[in-house]
Amino acid sequence: MKAIIYGKPSCPYCDKAKRLLTNDPRFDVQYVDLSLPENQQTLNDLKAGGMRTVPQIYVDNVHIGGYRELVEAIAAKY
């Protein structure tokens, strides 16, 4: 499964999400650092869609939510 984590440096929940997913062989993980200038448009798009916090996590193009929702989704369906 393809997992994308949108996050920022010094975000402890971003780090936890990265660890959780990279340690699970079922997931191919991509991390997008929203603090980088080249990701400014992505940040703007996420904010326009209602994002207010990081991480924002998608699995197979389905929005999961943040770290807590990720843990719940893994326990329930993955």
Please give the chain's pLDDT, 78 residues, in tens. 999 999 999 999 999 999 999 999 999 999 999 999 999 999 999 999 999 999 999 999 999 999 999 999 999 987
Q: State residue 77's pLDDT score.
A: 81
Q: State residue 26's pLDDT score.
A: 95
Spatial CA neighbour of 73 closest among 52, 54, 51, 58? 58
Per-residue burial over 56-76, b = 16 or more CB atoms within 10 Å of its CB, e = otherwise: bbbbeeeebebbeebeeebee
Element (DSSP H or E) covering residue 59:
strand 56-59
Strand order of the β-sheet with 2-7 is 28-33, 2-7, 56-59, 62-65
